[in-house]
């Protein structure tokens, strides 16, 4: 029989609360300790179209991503979640793009006509788009767990089994110096009627994406490795808008609604493992790069399994 245990999850972003949700559903009593409220985490900045960006290893990412894709597809049936299924294009600027991620995506097809200059081909598919402003609120409420706002500086402060899912703060808690911030800046503009998303991560002028939501469009972005400033740069914003307007002319003249910066927690591979320290289990779940949302449900399933060994 499965025995209920008190479990502490450190981290109040999408990975932490998804782990908390699954642990609670498995019968555990869960407390989330978060340094920042969910709406002020890196997760809240994400454009959050399902896409395994800046995460490894490929085989595990594909498995976690496929599990999450199934979960988000089911959640799209509930308007409270902020999840919708939208069609879009991933642009390719080389003749033989690496399409490893399409193994998890049903009905992906190749497009060669009507593409922007410099684009050789594109992959068209339907993927979940997650409005993080709505989704994080739904996820926290649905998890139904205890939340404590505060920063953990030493795991000795936390009793019992613990899940470390605190993004960039995770490294200091478990002695991992391999985490690197990857700065991402976005600008949100009024939606002129767009429904399809677009990803152009090989754009020679810089990472570019356009992700329409109900009333706005998330435009990005940047991937500045090692940068820690969370202040939006007007010059960077201008360059982002130039790139997205060149690809999607309908965005010309769309008023800017807001802007934000997030620091993606990157490492060579996602760390998801279990160790025993001081007689209690410590499960690490961090280093998702730009794919925290994309991998969240799959990684959370593995966290539950590791804690129930």
Q: List residues forming the annotated binding site for D-dopa.
A: 209, 264, 290
Taking every pair of C-alpha atoms in the chain, what is the biggest distance, in angstroms?
A: 61
- Calculate the alpha carbon distances from 222 to 35, 132, 171, 239 in Å: 25, 19, 23, 10
In total, the chain counts a number of residues equal to 309
Nearest 5°: phi and psi at 275? -130, 160
Omega before 57 within 30 of 0, i.e. cis: yes
Integer-rounded Cα Rg, in Å, for the chain is: 19
Residues 265/170, Cβ–Cβ less than 8 Å: yes
Residues 208/251, Cβ–Cβ less than 8 Å: no
Q: Which residues are annotated as a binding site for FAD?
A: 42-43, 152, 289-294
- Beta strand pairing call for 6-10 and 256-277: unpaired
Among residues 226, 42, 32, 46, the alpha carbon closest in space to that of 144 is found at 32
For 218-272, the three-class secondary structure string (H helix, E strand, C coil) is: EEECCCEECCCCCCCCHHHHHHHHHHHHHHCHHHCCCCEEEEEEEEEEEEEEEEE
Nearest 5°: phi and psi at 191? -85, 115
Q: Which residues are annotated as a binding site?
A: 42-43, 152, 209, 264, 289-294
Residues 121/92, Cβ–Cβ less than 8 Å: yes
Distance CA 84, CA 62 (A): 21
Distance CA 193, CA 212 (A): 9
Return the sign of the alpha-carbon dihedral for residues 89, 91, 95, 101: negative
């Amino acid at each position: 029989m499965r025995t209920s245990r008190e479990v502490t999850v450190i981290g109040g972003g999408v990975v932490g609360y998804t782990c908390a949700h699954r642990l609670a559903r498995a019968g555990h009593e869960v407390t989330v300790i978060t340094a920042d409220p969910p709406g002020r985490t890196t997760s809240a900045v994400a454009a959050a179209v399902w896409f395994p960006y800046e995460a490894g290893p490929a085989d595990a990412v594909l498995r976690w991503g496929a599990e999450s894709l199934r979960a988000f597809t089911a959640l799209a049936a509930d308007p409270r979640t902020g999840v919708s299924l939208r069609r879009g294009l991933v642009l390719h600027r080389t003749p033989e793009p690496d399409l490893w991620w399409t193994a998890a995506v049903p009905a992906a097809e190749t497009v060669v006509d009507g593409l922007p200059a410099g684009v050789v081909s594109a992959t068209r598919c339907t993927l979940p788009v997650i409005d993080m402003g709505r989704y994080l609120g739904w996820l926290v409420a649905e998890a139904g767990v205890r939340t404590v706002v505060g920063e953990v500086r030493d795991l000795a402060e936390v009793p019992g089994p613990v899940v470390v899912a605190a993004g960039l703060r995770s490294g200091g808690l478990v002695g991992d110096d391999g985490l690197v911030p990857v700065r991402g800046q976005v600008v949100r503009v009024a939606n002129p009627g767009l429904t399809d998303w677009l990803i152009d991560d090989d754009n020679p002028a810089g990472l570019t994406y356009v992700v329409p939501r109900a009333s706005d469009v998330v435009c990005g972005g940047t991937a500045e490795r090692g940068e820690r400033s969370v202040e939006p740069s007007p010059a960077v914003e201008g360059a982002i808008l130039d790139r997205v307007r060149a690809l999607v002319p309908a965005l010309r003249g769309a008023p800017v609604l807001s802007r934000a910066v997030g620091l993606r927690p990157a490492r060579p591979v996602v760390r998801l493992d279990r160790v025993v320290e001081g007689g209690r289990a410590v499960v690490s779940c961090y280093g998702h790069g730009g794919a925290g949302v994309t991998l969240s449900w799959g990684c959370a399933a593995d966290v539950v399994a590791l804690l129930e060994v």
